[in-house]
């Protein structure tokens, strides 16, 4: 690692391998596949990634061997370039700029230096129509050339690469939704290398072999039927003796050409087949699968190697976790499995079979899926929730608790709890204590309860070991708990019931206190650690990040940020917040106790980041630079979901400490909020639009009395008549207040100290809400005073940070 360092985002893996069909080289030693913005070269015998061909700035959409030179390969990308590589050494030979995003591309040995690309029609506004274009690649020795000779071949083609195939002659076949009856939609096409025959796959699972296609209108066809649902890929072997087909059944079928009744099957390939390719010499087949896997199969229909990438299904419902034992990233992978992924090596270690039921490869079936998982601090216990959602009413839930057995080096099922809750489980958390004696798991559910599960010896003392029993069922006013968190020492449990955060003592199951920040439900909760353990942080749906002090049970500060993910570093007191703002995600790293963030970075990536994790380092780094010290103990990984051309590709990033520039104009939120509480947000509105009406509507919210009203627990509030009068008072003052504001506009040179005094006053008045609330109506002028001071102060505050935010 470089010492003089910058902090930057580094792509560290997890990209899709099954996006486009892979290519096997002539000598069958290497396999090339498009993977995100790079082309990966794998060894077919060892499954190892040998080179990564990097250079494209967009998603790579195709890889093709150069017909004239078998040691070179073309790759096309959405960035509008075609690049030529030497894959044995991993060197970029030539870049050819075409200028239009390329969705797929083809080459033929008959056409020297011509490639055919599929690109969107330039005339169309909506990029939904595509055309096939022949591009003549210029012959020059330069590294960077621009292709200008373009000629359109066909328009209105399907961007799916399976829809176009090359035949023997100068023939391109295109299919696009040629509906012949209800289910006859074409899904893929393949041309026989020698005969005048074309194979097409259909949505209804049939394969049709069309012959005599060159004679117009005289073609005949025969039908092969084995697949029960759509044929997703078809491929002829180089000699044309066999036809390979695959689909969602995850069975590879080898049909004998002209003896179609004979066929070989290779079942149990694990997931739906998306692409099939054959090596040029016919000795190897390879299939890519929907679970981001490439299987290399010998021509005797025997699996020889499996290249497995990060499995990312429809959604990552378990969130990202680190296995404390193996330091692997854990998330849900294949249906019913938890995957363990090595971040250091960008390699899947293994899938842990949680559900242990045969997965039926059929679309539309509802099957058990792992939706939640949690590890305890030592890695001794693993809790998993599996769920099957058949109909809206019937929900099957299982909570399984696995113990790690040292002797067999494997997880052993300890307890299965069927139907632990009546509705979906929203969060699950282990108590993180150093001593593993009193293990406690809390699960919150949409049925309005949270349950605490405890490891206990069975009552009838038989030879059984300890198992998990329910210890406590908690609820709060019938609200739905959304998230839960244990404090670092395990002495407190915070459960967020919509807008209310309840703090419980796990020892006695007493409700200690409730905290609330009314507008918006709390979506994320975490306790501070080490020196900041007195703070509890939460994010609300109304774009607030709140920090409560647990000693005073009051709000310490809050800030308006659209925090998508808040997470705490397990090894330090640092916290990271991913905020979504205008199409990109910003990252802030801060200590709850410190006013300034340790690190902030605008637009770490485009799109939303909802999954992130701190991974502890094997060795602590000794970085002297203050700005990158937060990365000394752990690394931060986050998962993005790039939506490119409606194809989601997942990428993982890692921060490596290299360099950091702190922009002072963006000097940041917790600081100004320590001063400004959260009223700042409303003040922004006021500054930005100066209309009196806006001001007035904003005022009641900012008024301290309203604040009191909303923050005080309902049971200590005075009668409504009191509140009503207060409320009306606060509304009335707004006009005079505005006047006052003007009057004070000149006196902006007030000392900072006084500022803080007033701040403290506010603080004290807040910490005793009962007092204020119980006071007589004569309190109202005092409130207005405070309010006036507040306004004055707010006017004085520097809003340059806002400018910085808006500019950047």
Partner 1 sequence: MAADGGSSSLQLPCVFSPKSRQFLALCAQDGRLRIWNTDSKTLHQEYVPSAHLSATCTCIAWGPCRTVKEGPQRKKRKSEAVQVEEKADLLAMGTAAGTVLIYSTAKGALHCTLDGAHSGGVNCVQWHPEESLLYSGSDDTNIVEWDLQTGKTRSKWKADRAAVTSLCVSPDGKLLLSAGHIIKMWDLDTKEVYRKFTGHSTAVTTLRFATTRPPDSNGLYFLSGAAHDRLLSVWQVREDGKDKNSVVSFTLTDEPQHIDLVTSNSKEEAVRLAVVCKDGQLHLFEHFLNGPCKKPLSPSCTVQMSDTKESPMPIPLLAAVLGADTRTVMLAYGSHLQPVMEKVEINTAERHVCLTRDVQTTLSLSMETTVSKVKTPIVNAKSKVLVPGLPGHQAPLKGTSQGSEKRKKDTDTKEMSIAERLGEIDLSTISEKGASKGTASLQTDNFAVLLVQGLESNDASILNKVFQTRKDMVIKKTVARLPLSAVLPLVEETKLWQKPLWVLSCCLLKCFYLQLIHLCIQQLPDLVTQLGVLYHVIESRVKMFHKLTKLHGKLYLLMTQVSANICKCPPRSLLFDV
* Binding positions for partner 1, 403-422, rule CB under 8 A: 405-420
Minimum CB separation of residue 34 from partner 1 in Å reads 16
Between 257 and 468, whose beta carbon lies closer to partner 1? 468
Question: In the complex with partner 1, which residue's Cβ is closer, 90 or 595?
Answer: 90
Instruction: Please report, as residue ranges, which positions from 439 to 468 form the binding site for partner 1 (by CB under 8 A).
Output: 451-452, 456, 458-459, 464-465, 467-468
Min CB(57)–partner 1 separation in Å: 8
Out of 243, 348, 373, 555, the only residue in the binding site for partner 1 (CB under 8 A) is 348
What DSSP assignment string belongs to 414-468? Answer: EEEEESSSSS-EEEEEE---SSSSS-EEEEEETTS-EEEEEEE--SS--S---EE
Q: Which of 28, 113, 185, 344 binds partner 1 (CB under 8 A)?
A: 344
Q: Pick one of 27, 28, 43, 513: the residue that binds partner 1 (CB under 8 A).
A: 43
Stretch that binds partner 1, among 51-59, 218-226, 693-701, 765-773 (CB under 8 A): 51-59
Identity of the residue, 336 or 769, whose beta carbon is nearer to partner 1 in the bound complex: 336
Compute the Cα dihedral for 126, 129, 134, 139 and give only its sign: positive
Place of tokens 């703002």: 581
Here the tokens at position 398 are 């299982």
Least distance (Å) from partner 1 to the CB of residue 756? Answer: 42
Gap between the Cα atoms of 131 and 163, Å rounded: 12
Q: Which is nearer to partner 1, 652 or 706 (CB)?
A: 652
Closer to partner 1 at the Cβ: 50 or 553? 50
Angle subtended at Cα 50 by Cα 142 and Cα 235, rounded to the nearest 5 degrees: 85
Distance CA 756, CA 750 (A): 11
| Of residues 385 and 673, the one with the C-beta less far from partner 1 | 385
Tell me how far apart the alpha carbons of residues 196 and 236 are, in angstroms, rounded to a whole number.
13
Q: Are 2 and 10 in contact (CB under 8 A)?
A: no
Q: For helices 720-744 and 779-796, give the axis angle rounded to 10 degrees.
A: 40
Q: Which is nearer to partner 1, 249 or 346 (CB)?
A: 346
* Minimum distance, C-beta of residue 327 to partner 1, in the bound complex (Å): 9
Nearer to partner 1, 300 or 749 (CB): 300
Does 578 bind partner 1 (CB under 8 A)? Our answer is: no
Closest-CA residue to 18 (of 9, 8, 5, 31)? 31
Our CB check for partner 1 shows the closer of 344 and 581 to be 344
Binding positions for partner 1, 352-381, rule CB under 8 A = 352-354, 356
Residues 6+ apart with CB under 8 A from 260: 209, 222, 224
CB of 11 to partner 1, least distance (A): 7
* Piece in contact with partner 1 (CB under 8 A), picked from 41-49, 121-129, 525-533, 782-790: 41-49
Q: Which of residues 503-562 bind partner 1 (CB under 8 A)?
A: none
CA dist list (Å): 627 to 174, 211, 511, 561, 803: 56, 69, 40, 22, 23
Contact at 8 Å (CB) between 357 and 336?
A: yes
Buried b (16+ CB within 10 A) or exposed e, 14-32: bbbbbbbbbbbbeebbbbb
Q: 366 or 410: whose CB is closer to partner 1?
A: 410
CB 396, min distance to partner 1, A:
12
Residues 617-656, one symbol each (x = binds partner 1 by CB under 8 A, - = not), give -xx----------------------------------x-x
Residue from 402, 590, 637, 638 binding partner 1 (CB under 8 A): 402
Nearest-approach distance from CB 697 to partner 1, in angstroms? 45
CA–CA separation, 548 and 537 (whole Å): 6
Cα 579 from Cα 523, distance rounded (Å)? 13
Task: Calculate the CA 440 to chain-centre distance.
Answer: 28
Binding flag, residue 392, partner 1 (CB under 8 A): no
Q: Out of 219, 226, 472, 722, which residue is the one contacting partner 1 (CB under 8 A)?
A: 472
Is-contact 144 84, C-beta < 8 A?
no
Least distance from partner 1 to the Cβ atom of residue 69, Å: 19
Are 588 and 580 contacting, i.e. CB atoms less than 8 angstroms apart? no
390 counts as binding partner 1 under rule CB under 8 A: no
Between 234 and 604, name the residue whose CB sits nearer to partner 1: 604
Our finding on whether 469 is near partner 1 (CB under 8 A) is yes
Burial (0-12, 13-18, 19+ Cβ within 10 Å), 206 = middle
Q: Is 11 in the site for partner 1 (CB under 8 A)?
A: yes
What is the C-alpha separation between 588 and 547, in angstroms, rounded?
15
Q: Smallest gap, in angstroms, from Cβ of residue 82 to partner 1?
A: 15
Q: How far is residue 177 from each of residues 174, 645, 789, measured CA to CA in Å?
A: 10, 19, 69
Between CA 431 and CA 435 the distance in angstroms is: 10
Backbone angles phi, psi at 726, to 5 degrees: -60, -45
Cβ of residue 625: shortest distance to partner 1, in angstroms?
18
Nearer to partner 1, 128 or 462 (CB): 462
**Choice between 143 and 491, CB closer to partner 1:** 143
Within a 10 A sphere around the Cβ of 321, how many other Cβ atoms?
A: 16
Site for partner 1 in 304-323 (CB under 8 A): 306, 308
Residue nearer to partner 1 on the CB measure, 417 or 515: 417
Segment lying near partner 1 (by CB under 8 A), choices 127-135, 256-264, 342-350, 559-567? 342-350
Give the x-and-dash track for 655-694 against partner 1 (CB under 8 A): -x--------------------------------------
> DSSP 3-state assignment of 516?
strand
> Which of 113-121, 163-171, 302-310, 726-734 is the region at the interface with partner 1 (rule: CB under 8 A)?
302-310
Tell me which residue of 241, 81, 60 sits closest to 161, measured CA to CA.
Answer: 60
Tell me if 447 sits within 8 A of 420, measured CB to CB: no
């Amino acid at each position: 690692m470089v010492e003089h360092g910058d902090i930057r985002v580094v792509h560290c893996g997890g990209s899709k391998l099954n996006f486009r069909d892979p290519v096997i080289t002539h000598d069958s030693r290497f396999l090339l596949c498009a993977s995100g913005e790079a082309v990966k070269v794998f060894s077919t015998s060892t499954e190892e990634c040998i080179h990564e061909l990097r250079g494209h700035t967009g998603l790579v959409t195709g890889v093709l061997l150069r017909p004239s030179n078998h040691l070179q390969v073309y790759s096309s990308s959405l960035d509008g370039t075609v690049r030529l590589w030497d894959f044995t050494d991993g060197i970029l030979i030539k870049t050819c700029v075409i200028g239009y995003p390329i969705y797929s591309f083809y080459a033929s040995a008959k056409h020297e230096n011509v490639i055919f690309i599929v690109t969107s029609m330039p005339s169309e506004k909506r990029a939904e129509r595509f055309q096939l274009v022949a591009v003549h690649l210029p012959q020059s020795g330069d590294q960077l050339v621009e292709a200008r000779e373009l000629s359109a071949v066909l328009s209105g083609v399907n961007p799916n690469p399976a829809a176009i195939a090359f035949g023997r002659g100068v023939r391109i076949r295109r299919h696009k939704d040629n509906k012949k009856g209800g289910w006859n939609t074409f899904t893929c096409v393949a041309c026989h290398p020698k005969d005048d025959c074309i194979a097409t796959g259909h949505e209804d699972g049939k394969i049709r072999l069309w012959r005599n296609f060159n004679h117009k209108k005289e073609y005949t066809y025969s039908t092969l039927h084995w697949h029960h649902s759509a044929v997703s890929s078809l491929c002829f072997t180089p000699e044309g003796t066999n036809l390979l087909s695959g689909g969602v059944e995850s069975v590879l079928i080898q049909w004998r050409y002209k003896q179609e009744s004979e066929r070989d099957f290779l079942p149990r390939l694990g997931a739906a087949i998306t692409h099939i390719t054959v090596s040029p010499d016919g000795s190897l087949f390879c299939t890519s699968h929907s679970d981001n896997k490439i299987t290399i199969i010998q021509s005797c229909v025997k699996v020889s190697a499996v290249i497995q990438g990060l499995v990312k299904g429809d959604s990552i419902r378990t969130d990202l976790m680190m296995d404390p034992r193996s330091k692997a990233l854990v998330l849900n992978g294949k249906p019913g499995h938890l995957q363990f992924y090595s971040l250091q090596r960008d390699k899947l270690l293994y899938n842990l079979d949680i559900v242990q039921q045969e997965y039926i490869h059929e679309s539309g079936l509802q099957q058990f899926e792992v939706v939640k998982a949690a590890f305890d601090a030592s890695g001794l216990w693993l809790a998993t929730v599996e769920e099957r959602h058949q109909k809206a009413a019937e929900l099957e839930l299982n909570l399984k608790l696995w113990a790690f057995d040292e002797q067999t080096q494997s997880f052993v099922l300890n307890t299965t709890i069927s139907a632990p809750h009546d509705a979906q489980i929203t969060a699950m958390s282990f108590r993180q204590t150093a001593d593993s004696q009193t293990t406690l798991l809390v699960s919150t559910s949409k049925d309005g309860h949270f349950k605490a599960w405890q490891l206990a010896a069975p009552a009838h003392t038989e030879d059984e070991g300890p198992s998990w029993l329910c210890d406590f069922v908690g609820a709060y006013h019938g609200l739905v708990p959304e998230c839960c968190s244990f404090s670092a020492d395990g002495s407190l449990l915070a459960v967020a019931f919509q807008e209310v955060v309840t703090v419980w003592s796990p020892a006695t199951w007493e409700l200690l206190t409730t905290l609330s920040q009314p507008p918006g439900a709390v979506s994320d909760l975490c306790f501070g650690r080490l020196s900041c353990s007195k703070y509890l942080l939460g994010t609300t749906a109304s774009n607030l990040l709140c920090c409560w002090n647990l000693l005073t049970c009051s709000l310490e500060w809050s800030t308006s940020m659209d925090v998508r993910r808040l997470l705490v570093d397990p090894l330090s007191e640092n916290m990271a917040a991913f905020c979504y703002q205008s199409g990109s995600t910003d990252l802030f790293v801060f200590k709850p106790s410190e006013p300034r963030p340790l690190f902030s970075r605008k637009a770490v990536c485009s799109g939303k980041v909802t999954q992130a994790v701190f991974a502890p380092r094997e060795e602590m780094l000794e970085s002297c630079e203050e700005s990158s010290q937060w990365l000394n103990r752990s690394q931060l990984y986050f998962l993005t979901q790039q939506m490119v051309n409606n194809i989601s590709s997942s990428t993982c990033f890692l921060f490596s400490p290299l360099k950091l520039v702190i922009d002072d104009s963006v000097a940041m939120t917790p600081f100004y909020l320590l001063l400004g509480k959260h009223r700042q947000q409303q003040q922004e509105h006021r500054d930005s639009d100066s209309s009196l009406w806006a001001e007035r509507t904003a005022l009641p919210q900012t008024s301290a009395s309203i604040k009191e009203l909303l923050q005080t627990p309902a049971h200590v509030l005075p009668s409504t008549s009191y509140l009503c009068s207060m409320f009306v008072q606060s509304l009335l003052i707004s006009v005079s207040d505005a006047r006052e504001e003007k009057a004070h506009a000149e006196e902006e040179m007030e000392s900072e100290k006084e500022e803080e005094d007033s701040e403290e006053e506010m603080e004290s008045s807040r910490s005793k809400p009962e007092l204020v609330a119980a006071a007589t109506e004569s309190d109202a002028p005092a409130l207005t005073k405070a309010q006036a001071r507040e306004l004055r102060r707010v006017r004085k505050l520097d809003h340059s940070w806002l400018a910085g935010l808006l500019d950047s």
